[in-house]
Structure 1
Amino acid sequence: MDWYMFTEELARMQCSPAGPLMDIKLTSGELEEIHLPHFLCLGGVEAAHNAVRLLHAQDSGVYLETCTVTQHHASLLQPSLSLLGPVYYLLDLLSPKVHCQLLLFYQRTTILKLRTYLVLNNQEHIDAIHKQEENWKGERIKRNSTVGSPLRLGDTFHVMTSCPSKIDPGEVKLVPDKVGSMGNFCVVSFNIKHPEESFDVQVKRPQHEDPIWKISVEKEDYSPPSTSPNLHSTSSSTKTQTVDLFSTFDELQEKELKRFKAYLSLENMEGFERIPRGQLEKWDATDLATRMTERYEKEGAVRMTLTILRKMELNDLANRLEESITLTGQ
């Protein structure tokens, strides 16, 4: 389920999601109590616990229910089941601490491509990242993914390696997730032409000496390089890429295109810089394909498009785009 459907309600209530939104049904019997996971680190502060509620969506409307909050769950006695999810009041928790994980994936072509995800400790988000990487043929480098200490929403972080690499973006910011079930994660991509036998990957706060997370990547952690005899030139590849995106956007209905643009205007979408809503409103499908390719380069434009299409549950369209990119050797 996607928090997107409650964007207006969350804004009106001045709340932000604190965990997954679940559609819960009971086939038989009675439910005495339900425990829903959250990613907040509240400590023993009573005021912080009081800022957490369960959003309950029924046919009659959307309500906030008082709940009991433990270290990792929000519980409710004798609940009436439908759509349920934990939220917190933004005015009471301006910059809460959250539990996070760091996931590292790689792709090996003529160079080593790594993607590092700083993600809330939310299994729904983590599963979505794994599914996305599966579609991209990414492989997980399995290391301890838990960030030792809670992080504060709004903090900025840098990802770096001990060997020369091209890193994009240079820094990421962990921001509240207000609309998307997968929106709250930071992704940093970096390309390494000549990886060393082993090298370190670490995540640090600016002006802090100690990293919040650090691992050593060994040569056996990633597969040997593969070669492709039919590589396209960069200019030809980019041109084909833009045509594929245009064909995809041209299939969107007016409301779907408007919703797609709304996602592009969000902070932290795929770790890329947002596009101001005022610019997006002026662009048709052709402009959108061209501008996204110019702004995010071909790989980033496709990656963001596939993510948004799947968030919109337009999986068939996403699969066709992905297939067309694969067939043309992108």
Structure 2
Amino acid sequence: MSIRYTLNTETNMLSSNEFNKSLMSIFSLGPTSEEHFVDKNKDYLIHDLRNIEHILDELLNKGVIQQESYDKISALSTSEEKIKELIDGHLKTVGSKDIFQDIAMENLTVLHQGPDSSSSMPSGTDDQYLKSGIFWKTTMLIPSGVWIQLEPEVNCVDSEDAPIYSLQSDAGHFECSVSGLRWVCKEKVSFKYQFGSWEEHMERLETMHYIPGGPLLDITVVAGKLDEAHLPHWICTKDNPTILTKFAVLHIGSWGDVVEPVFEVTPSHVKLSQPIFSPRGVLMRAGFPVKINCKVLIYKTKKAFLTLHVFLIPRDPALQQTIKNKELSSGYKMIEKPYPVNSLKMRDRFILTADMDTAEIYPEKLKLVYEGSDPNFFEVFIESPDNQFQLTMTHGSGPVWTCAIRKDDYQNTAGDIQVMYEEELAKVRCKLVATVSRELVNQLLDDLLEDRVLNEGEKDSILQENNTSADRARCLIDTVRRKGHEASGKIFTHLRSRDPTLSAQLGLPSGRPV
């Protein structure tokens, strides 16, 4: 399991100064170093810094970067690209680097390492810290009360079912990087969960006068015990404190659905003490105005003229994944843009406009409601765009969200094709693992070794450490994906050559010429 520790910046966290001092002492870097911390640890920051959207928001609010720089950086595909562009092109002064350093310290990801780990650490780190295991034992670095972010292991048992996310931790306070689920435990614990669909429960919720307030999670504890579980929600609580009394939790068991009261609500989570698990999700009492935290998702279709699908949805990771799977399965490309900063009111109607006379946008208005399986969207059609343009979403009171769509976002380039290979490989991973034969895996290993995508050591490791064809296929796909777009394109080429029937059934792209 790939694990990363990330300091969350909400309540009950270390102050910026306290955490900076702690990391400074570990990294052996004083503020008077000749080379600035940001420059000296640039590679480390590019590789391991996450939560870039929050960092960019902070830099924009503090005047370190301007809106043009913000949009340029946000348009890049990966966190690594965004951090590199930020450091190389937009942090020109010592003062700007100091501000970035303060913000970065609050969002820094520390690699999960054992005493024998060989991963690179920030320049200046004393090797004794690694040998003594300080970076391995998190309690020696991260105090109690800080939410440590973990990346789950993802397993696709059946292509028709939702993926299973598996997590394990020692004692402490943790948060899943995918769902936002938090937990507190006093001993080692392991558990798994799946996203559920609210769709089949909507009718019953309406009769009980509730609406979904967070993702529906089916959680199973495999070993150990969770002392607390904090279910994520997307309801905005800051403008209306009385709304805290309207929360509840749906508990779905073999006996039926039970609505349970809530005893503690934070701006982002609902707390459950000594929880008994089954499918659970946060509810909100219906019948009065509710503001929610939202995301805007943009996908470019494969049509001859520029056509965009623009979704306005609650900040629901399960719904976001549903939309992503559906759009990518049609070969569409995601265009990443910042999401609305302010919360929006449920059931309000919003209008999307473009500052280009030839743009056609349908429908005229879109209502913000929770649609769990097939949410509606704005369709933006522009026959011959020749420059960047701006999309703006408005309500009666004025604009609530805006973004710039640049040529690089919508033009078909070789880079777009390369990105498609990596996305397609991720999309068909589960089906490939379930259907690929041992013979085909061996053939692909030989092909990729000949192409120098893999080396002898990697090939031997895949064969020796995995007994079944499914495990070997899973390891091979993950290894190739980590090597980037070029490698992902080559595996498609060899799959089509080795098994054209399987490739056609899965709808694989043609790949790059070998």
TM-score scaled by length of structure 2? 0.41
What is the aligned partner in structure 2 of residue 166 from structure 1?
360
**AA matched with 2:222:** T
1:132 is displaced (CA, Å) by: 1.2
Per-residue CA distance 1:273-293 (angstroms, 9 max, x = gap): xxxxxxxxxxxxxxxxxxxxx
1:77 is displaced (CA, Å) by: 0.3
What is the aligned partner in structure 1 of residue 294 from structure 2?
100
Distance in 2 of aligned mates of 1:65 and 1:168:
41
Where relative contact order (Cα < 8 A, 6+ residues apart) is larger, the structure is: 1
Distance in 2 of aligned mates of 1:171 and 1:60:
42
Pairing 1:135-284 to 2, within 5 Å after superposition:
135-144=329-338, 146-163=339-356, 164-175=358-369, 177=370, 181-182=372-373, 185-206=375-396, 208=397, 210-224=398-412
What is the aligned partner in structure 2 of residue 81 from structure 1?
277
1:125 is displaced (CA, Å) by: 1.2
What is the aligned partner in structure 2 of residue 40 from structure 1?
235
Distance in 2 of aligned mates of 1:165 and 1:78:
54
Per-residue CA distance 1:290-322 (angstroms, 9 max, x = gap): xxxxxxxxxxxxxxxxxxxxxxxxxxxxxx9x9
Distance in 2 of aligned mates of 1:142 and 1:6:
31
1:225 is displaced (CA, Å) by: 8.5
What is the aligned partner in structure 1 of residue 319 from structure 2?
125
What is the aligned partner in structure 1 of residue 187 from structure 2?
none
1:186 is displaced (CA, Å) by: 4.2
Distance in 2 of aligned mates of 1:7 and 1:32:
30
Q: How many residues align?
A: 221
Per-residue CA distance 1:161-209 (angstroms, 9 max, x = gap): 111122111111112x3xx5345x5410121111131111111114x4x
Distance in 2 of aligned mates of 1:115 and 1:85:
28
**AA matched with 1:35:** H
Conservation of the 8 A alpha-carbon contact between 1:35 and 1:76: yes
Conservation of the 8 A alpha-carbon contact between 2:302 and 2:331: no
**Equivalent of 1:11 in 206, 221, 239:** 206
Distance 1:150 1:13, change over 3 A: same
Greater shift, 1-10 or 32-41, is seen at 1-10
**AA matched with 1:80:** I
**AA matched with 1:71:** P
Unaligned runs of 5+ in 1: 227-319, 324-330
**AA matched with 2:277:** L
SS at match of 1:211: strand
Conservation of the 8 A alpha-carbon contact between 1:20 and 1:181: no
Quick check: 1:64 aligned with 2:234?
no
Conservation of the 8 A alpha-carbon contact between 2:335 and 2:409: yes
Distance in 2 of aligned mates of 1:157 and 1:220:
27
Distance in 2 of aligned mates of 1:38 and 1:147:
16
Distance in 1 of aligned mates of 2:407 and 2:294:
27
Distance in 1 of aligned mates of 2:324 and 2:203:
29
Distance in 1 of aligned mates of 2:239 and 2:379:
37
1:75 is displaced (CA, Å) by: 1.3
Distance in 2 of aligned mates of 1:9 and 1:150:
27
Distance in 1 of aligned mates of 2:360 and 2:219:
44
1:44 is displaced (CA, Å) by: 6.4
TM-score scaled by length of structure 1? 0.62
Conservation of the 8 A alpha-carbon contact between 1:108 and 1:224: no
Greater shift, 57-66 or 14-23, is seen at 57-66
1:130 is displaced (CA, Å) by: 1.1
Distance 1:7 1:215, change over 3 A: closer
**AA matched with 1:22:** L
Which structure has the bigger radius of gyration?
Answer: 2
Identity %: 25
**AA matched with 1:191:** F
Distance in 1 of aligned mates of 2:366 and 2:387:
28
Distance in 2 of aligned mates of 1:79 and 1:15:
22
SS at match of 2:393: strand
Distance in 2 of aligned mates of 1:13 and 1:216:
42
Conservation of the 8 A alpha-carbon contact between 1:109 and 1:225: no
Greater shift, 52-61 or 105-114, is seen at 105-114
**AA matched with 2:372:** S
SS at match of 1:11: helix
Quick check: 1:28 aligned with 2:217?
no
Displaced runs of 4+ in structure 1, greater than 3 A? none
Per-residue CA distance 1:69-89 (angstroms, 9 max, x = gap): 111111100011111011111
Distance in 2 of aligned mates of 1:66 and 1:219:
50
Distance 1:136 1:62, change over 3 A: same
**AA matched with 1:98:** I
Unaligned runs of 5+ in 2: 1-195, 415-504, 508-514
